[in-house]
Amino acid sequence: MSRIGERINKALRTGLTFTINRDSGDLSGEYCMLELNAQATKPFIKEFFLSATFGYDTEARAGDKITSSDGRHLMVMTLTPEILKDSVAAYDGVCYKCNVSGQLYRYSGEATWDDDYDLVAAPVLIKSDCYGLLTEALYGNDLDENRELGNLGIQEHELYIPASVGIEIHDRYQVSSGEYYRVETIAKRRYENIDVAIVGEDTR
C-alpha cells in the first residue's frame, strides 16, 4: 500500500466520481481530477482533450469508456504511472470527450426482401449505446477554428472508439442523430486499446 498514494486518493475526493463502463459490468466508486488544457491552441485539443489524474489503485485502463459524475462520457486514451519512493502514487492520464453515441451494425451476408420486393443486405446489431469521438481527419486535414464542430459533413472523418467494441471494416455506425457511416479503414496502432476508424457516408 502506498502512503503517498493514499494521501493523493484523499485529495482526489474533492474531484469527480466516475464509472467505468464495460460489457462485463460497470465499476464505480472511484474519484479523479479532470482539467482542460489551458495552453491549448489547436481546436481539437481545446474541444476534446482533458488531462486526468487517477488514484494509484484505479481499475481504469487505457481504452476504457468512463462516465463522470457531471455527465460527461469519456475515453481513457493514456495512463502513465507517477512513481514516488519506488511505488505508484497516482496515474496521470489523457481522456477524450465522446461527442457521439449510436449503434454499430455488421452486414452478415444474408439478405431480406424490402417493400419493393428487392433483396437487400441485412445488418445485424453488434452494439448499442456505442460512444465515440467523431471528427474531421486530423492527419492531412486541419480543423478550421471558425468552423462549428457540429457541422462536419459526412465524409473524410475519423471515429475514435474503444478497441473492446471490436469495430471492423465495412461495419455501419448509426449515430443517434440519424447519420449513417461506413467504416472504410481502421488504424489499430495509433493509440493503445483505441481504434481509429476512417468513415464515410453509408448509402447501403
What is the predicted pLDDT for the residue at 147? 42
What is the predicted pLDDT for the residue at 86? 85
Reported as a single tens digit per residue, the pLDDT across 177-199 is 889 999 999 987 788 899 999 99
The Cα 110–Cα 104 span in angstroms is 17
Do the domains spanning 3-97 and 100-201 agree at the CATH topology level? yes
The Cα 57–Cα 91 span in angstroms is 9
Reported as a single tens digit per residue, the pLDDT across 80-89 is 999 998 899 9
The residues spanned by each domain of the chain are 3-97, 100-201
For residue 41 the three cell numbers come to: 491552441
Mean pLDDT of the chain: 87
Say what the pTM is: 0.84
Question: How many C-beta atoms surround the C-beta of residue 121 within 10 A?
Answer: 12
Does the domain at 3-97 match CATH 2.60.40? Answer given as no
Give the pLDDT band of residue 150 (cuts 50, 70, 90): very low
Q: What is the CATH number of domain 100-201?
A: 2.40.10
Angle at CA 184, nearest 5°, toward 142 and 22? Answer: 90
Reported as a single tens digit per residue, the pLDDT across 31-74 is 999 998 877 778 888 899 999 999 999 999 999 999 999 999 99
| Secondary structure of residue 179 in the 3-state scheme | coil
